[in-house]
Amino acid sequence: MASRDRFAINTISNNSLALGDAIALYCRHGVRAITPWDDKVAELGLAETKRRLDDAGIALNGFCLAGLFAKHGRGNLAVALDHNRRVLDLAAALGAPMIVTCVGGLIAGERDLDYARRYAFEGMQALVEAARPYGITLGIEPLHPMYLPEWSVVTTIAEANDWAERLGAGVGIVVDTYHTWWDPALAEGIRRAGAAGRIAAVHVNDWLSPTSDVLLDRGMMGEGVIDIPKIRGWLDDAGFAGRLEVEIFSTRLWAADQDAYLAETLQRFEEHV
Ligand code: ZN
């Protein structure tokens, strides 16, 4: 039974709305913290985004999205880092405490997974150096293995803990129920992350079974098969006291009436988180 004081929402949950309209929606429903995406902020403009957030009294729980080094192709780490520096600038200007970081998958057109892991780690080392002066935490989010080719060679919480440990200060991890619920070592991973003070953010949502699309068919909490209260208990025991951020990629829900959907999300947050 989560209190609304702990509620935050990732704006991807209302991806059909422009950022300005999403902020107005959150304001109507008393939401106090959000995580926006860099492309939507760029669309609305940095100054205008800041003004609307301030007027609505909404703080940033985090910012999306850093990483994805492989996306720019082999040998183009500098290009990837330039993009990441722009994301850091936006996040810092808006006062975000952390940036969700997907380390990237296979190099476009290649099959060498070992190389992809080394490449992503090298990218992270450079990004950590770039991020430290900003004082913003990079939260490595382990993603479900089905996301590996495009999004992340880090697929388990154990790997995310290992990477964070090796990368050192300024790196945390993001625990997303959708990506981690299946992992037999999840409880241990959360304990380890909590003991190191490393849990930078928590994303909540549900896994529909069957699912029609592994990227764009997530469920609201309580609609699917994840025992969210159990995972929440592990997070509590690990000392995590931050916000629990709802993050739902769903073409079904993006097409729904956004006021009714957010009202239901808030109710389900209290009942199922
Ligand atoms: Zn997430």
Q: What is the pLDDT of residues 155-175, one digit of tens each?
A: 999 999 999 999 999 999 999
User: Residue 1: pLDDT above 90?
Assistant: no
In this predicted structure, the answer to whether residue 116 has a pLDDT above a threshold of 90 is yes
CA 142 / ligand 1 centre spacing (Å): 9
**What is the 248 CA–ligand 1 centroid distance (Å)?**
8
3-state DSSP: the chain helix, strand, coil percent, rounded to 5? 50, 15, 35
- Report d(CA 197, CA 131) in Å as an integer: 18
CA of 143 to the centre of ligand 1 (A): 8
Q: Check if the beta carbon of residue 51 is closer than 8 Å to that of residue 77.
A: no
pLDDT of residue 128: 98
* Centroid of ligand 1 to alpha carbon of 37 (angstroms): 12
What pLDDT score does 259 carry?
98
Helix (H, G, I), strand (E, B) or coil at 105: coil
Contact 268, 204 (CB under 8 A): no
The neighbour count for residue 183, using CB atoms within 10 Å, is 17
Provide the residue count of the chain.
273
Q: How far is the CA of 200 from the centre of ligand 1 (A)?
A: 12
Between the CA of 107 and the centroid of ligand 1 the distance, in Å, is 22
Ligand 1 center–CA 214 separation, angstroms: 13
User: How far is 202 from 239, CA to CA, in rounded Å?
Assistant: 13
Is the predicted pLDDT of residue 126 greater than 90, yes or no?
yes
Mean pLDDT of all residues in 112-123 = 97
Confidence of residue 220 (pLDDT cuts 50, 70, 90): very high
**Ligand 1: distance of its center to the CA of 203 in Å?**
5
Band of residue 9 on the pLDDT scale cut at 50, 70, 90: very high
Task: Calculate how far, in angstroms, residue 163's C-alpha sits from the geometric centre of ligand 1.
Answer: 18
Query: What's the mean pLDDT in 235-261?
Result: 98
pLDDT at 13: 98
Contacting residues for 173 by C-beta, under 8 A, at least 6 apart: 139, 140, 141, 142, 157, 160, 161, 164, 193, 198, 199, 200
Q: Extract the runs of DSSP E, i.e. beta strands, from the chain.
A: 7-10, 33-35, 59-60, 63-67, 98-102, 137-140, 171-176, 199-204, 244-246
Average pLDDT over residues 190-213: 98
Query: How far does CA 43 lie from the centroid of its chain?
Result: 20
C-alpha 250 to ligand 1 mean position (Å): 13
Cα-to-centroid distance, 141 and ligand 1 (Å): 7
In angstroms, what is the span from residue 221 Cα to ligand 1's centroid? 14
- Looking at the chain, the whole-number percentage of residues with pLDDT higher than 70 is 100
Residue 131 · residue 88 · CB < 8 Å: yes
Q: Separation of 176 CA from ligand 1 center, angstroms?
A: 5
| Tens digits of residue pLDDT in 59-77 | 999 999 999 999 999 999 9
Distances (CA, A) of 245 to 8, 122, 193, 227: 4, 29, 18, 16
Element (H, E) at 208: none
Give the pLDDT score at 223.
98
CA-CA-CA-CA dihedral for 264, 267, 270, 273, to nearest 10 = -20
Q: How far is the CA of 180 from the centre of ligand 1 (A)?
A: 10
- Ligand 1 centre from 42 Cα, in Å? 21
Mean pLDDT of 250-267: 98
CA of 100 to the centre of ligand 1 (A): 8
C-alpha 10 – ligand 1 centre gap (Å): 9
Q: Torsions phi, psi of 2, nearest 5?
A: -85, 140
Residue type, 51: R
Residue 50 pLDDT: 98
